[in-house]
Amino acid sequence: MAAASAAVTLSIFGFMVVLGLPLMAQGQFLSLLIEPWRPAQGIYGIAPMIVGTIAIAGLSLMVAIPLSLGCAALISGLGRGRLPAFLHRLVRFMTGIPTVVYGFAGIFLLVPLVREWAGQGSGYCILSAGLLLAILIAPTMILFFTDAFAAVPRGYLSAADALGATPAQKLLFILMPCAWRGLVSGVVLATGRAVGDTLIALMVAGNAAAMPEALTDPARTLTAHIALVVAADFDSLEFRTLFACGMILYLCTTLMVILTRRIGAVSDPRRWQGA
């Protein structure tokens, strides 16, 4: 089964390479990465989609990482009373909510707020998509961070309490240094999900195939571009560009998986005790 799974994965990548081979044979693959998308002029560059993907995914990570780190710290013992248990249940509940539900909530709640704040545009922009995507990927990071903090020996925190350390000091000098492997793994996997998400960008980002210049500009991601472009001619260059997008996304996802495996799973507490 493991060999079959690997074979299917490689076959999918080979399928995309074969159908995108004319781009490489004609030396057009690199030009697609830097040219704009202008079908009327026969230019099918995917540079705006690459920039849109980076902008939306980057903004979501900038918002989600500190939010997830704070929630994980509260769940892992820095919170008091019933707050940690409530947050933990809430995060687990959020992981089961379908992405399309987040998208509808963003359309009716977040987009009007962004439109009023910006004072221009429709509200379907990079900012709306990035904030909504941050809410989507935050539960994944929180669970990874929580597991990483739970692997830190409790004796370390008890010693810090005995020395009069504040919650912030315990987080910065005890939890984070000891749990860095799990923290990085959570960020890497969340990055992969942010780059590969389709519905949030498709519903909230505006889907403008133009180079964005500000957070309030609409944008289109690679995944949304694949979902939106429908070419009648199988052999057209427009159709081939979809497989270039697929190869880029595939390579990005593969890189994320390799980085996660290289970093390793959450450190075993026995390693710290042995040290």
Q: What is the pLDDT along the chain (275 residues), one digit of tens a residue?
A: 989 988 888 888 888 777 777 766 666 777 777 888 887 787 878 889 999 999 999 999 999 999 999 899 888 877 777 888 888 899 999 888 888 999 999 999 999 999 998 877 888 999 999 999 999 999 989 998 998 888 888 888 888 888 888 888 888 888 888 888 888 888 888 888 888 888 898 899 988 888 888 899 999 998 888 888 765 456 667 777 787 788 888 888 788 777 777 765 444 444 444 44
The token duo for 251 is: 């390579």
Going by C-alpha positions, the residue among 135, 153, 48, 61 that lies closest to residue 91 is 135
* Range list of β-strands (E), the chain: 37-38, 43-44
Residue with tokens 């962004």: 114
38 strand-pairing partners? 43
Dist. CA 144–CA 248, nearest whole Å: 26
For residue 250, the SS3 value is: helix
For 37, list phi and psi in degrees, rounded to 5.
Answer: -100, 105
Going by C-alpha positions, the residue among 82, 68, 32, 6 that lies closest to residue 242 is 32
Dist. CA 239–CA 139, nearest whole Å: 36
Dist. CA 260–CA 239, nearest whole Å: 33
Kind and range of the H or E run holding 239: helix 237-263
The token duo for 83 is: 């707050």
CATH number where 163 lies: 1.10.3720.10
Going by C-alpha positions, the residue among 22, 30, 10, 15 that lies closest to residue 233 is 22
Please tell me the pTM assigned to this model: 0.83
44 strand-pairing partners? 37
Domain count, the chain: 1
Structural domain containing residue 200 = 2-274
